[in-house]
Amino acid sequence: MLAPELPANEAQRINILYSLGLLEAPPDERFDRLTRLAKRLFGVPVAKVMLVDAAAVYPLSGAGQAFGPVPREQSFCAHAIVNDGVLLVPETRSDPRFNDNPYVTQAPFIRFYAGCPLTVPGGARLGTLCLIDFEPRQFSSEDVSLLRDLATMVEQEIAAVQMATIDEMTALLNRRGFETAAPQALQLCARMDKPASLLFFDLNQFKQINDTYGHAEGDRALKAFAETLRKVLRSSDLSGRLGGDEFVALLINSSRNETALVTARLRTALNERNEADQRGYDICFSVGQVELPPDGEVDVASLLAQGDADMYRNKQAMRNN
């Protein structure tokens, strides 16, 4: 059995997956309808929508025999998401990647697999729409085309979920998206015994920008800050706009000193952006910082409240000086 490769954008892919909140979502008729349709159209005993997490692969929807989570190293779908097209395995016992897989050699004795990657805007492949049979079978080019069409329909439903977690103006996570993704990211840090840090940002004198230059210019300032923040952060970090001129970033596996360096790099990058844009005003920010040790237990609401309070103290200190 060959272990699946990791996608090049694995950290970003996991962050997007967590932000959607689908791993713990209850049954959803939007996806169940499509897996029932796939099962009926292809005449297979099992059709599933599977999501590939860091360590396991979870069913989002399924028609036919029920499977629980599958260890990622044993999952067919983990191979499918690094495949550019539909992954076809007409006879699992003849494929060196899977011939000694426990799901092949033991119950349920999978003999056929076809999986189409599910891609969201931005290019991350979150999982698959897959077909499973307990007998070998052939798959025509027309079958491949039909499976891709059904996978596109699943992608459209996932994109609708994603739209509810993304801030339309800045393309960062919105409050709902951040509050959904952050707990899972913190759980991952705890499991790997890694620290995390939260940065809570508030743009200084943002109301003055709106009052002086108009709300359209204020929107451009928000977009400029979001672009600079995204440029400075690592792909494994979470960033979001909580609302108004408040932004937040959760830095994964980042010590206090490393987080301070990120803040310094952001100030430098924003100064360079201000110098280049010459808008008649400068975008600047106050920031609060909260460190969370690997064994720390805190909910996201408390973490945000601490970051907000620290940011406010720092803003007041700047005003006093």
Compute and round to an integer the Cα radius of gyration of the chain.
23
The string of pLDDT tens digits covering residues 178-216 is 998 888 888 877 777 888 899 999 999 999 999 999 999
274 or 68: which leads in pLDDT: 274
- Residue-wise pLDDT for 60-102, tens only, equals 999 998 878 999 999 999 999 998 899 999 999 999 999 999 9
pLDDT at residue 51 tops 70: yes
Opening angle at CA 77, ends 72 and 81, nearest 5: 105
Q: Of 118-122, 132-136, 273-277, which range is least confident?
A: 118-122
Give whole-number Cα distances, 243 to 11, 175, 187, 294, in Å.
Answer: 25, 7, 25, 29
Domains within the chain, CATH numbers bracketed: 10-163 (3.30.450.40), 175-320 (3.30.70.270)
What six digits make up the tokens of 162? Answer: 């994603």
Q: Which residues neighbour 308 within 8 Å (Cβ) at sequence distance 6 or greater?
A: 200, 246, 288
Judged by DSSP in three states, 63 sits in strand
Q: How far apart are CA 201 and CA 178, in angstroms?
A: 14
Q: Could you tell me the sign of the dihedral formed by the alpha carbons of 215, 221, 225, 226, in that order?
A: positive
Alpha helices in the chain (DSSP H): 10-20, 29-42, 76-80, 102-105, 141-163, 175-192, 206-213, 215-232, 256-277, 300-320
The neighbour count for residue 113, using CB atoms within 10 Å, is: 28
Q: Sign of the CA dihedral 163, 169, 175, 181?
A: positive
What residues contact 18, with CB distance under 8 A and at least 6 apart? Answer: 180, 181, 184, 185
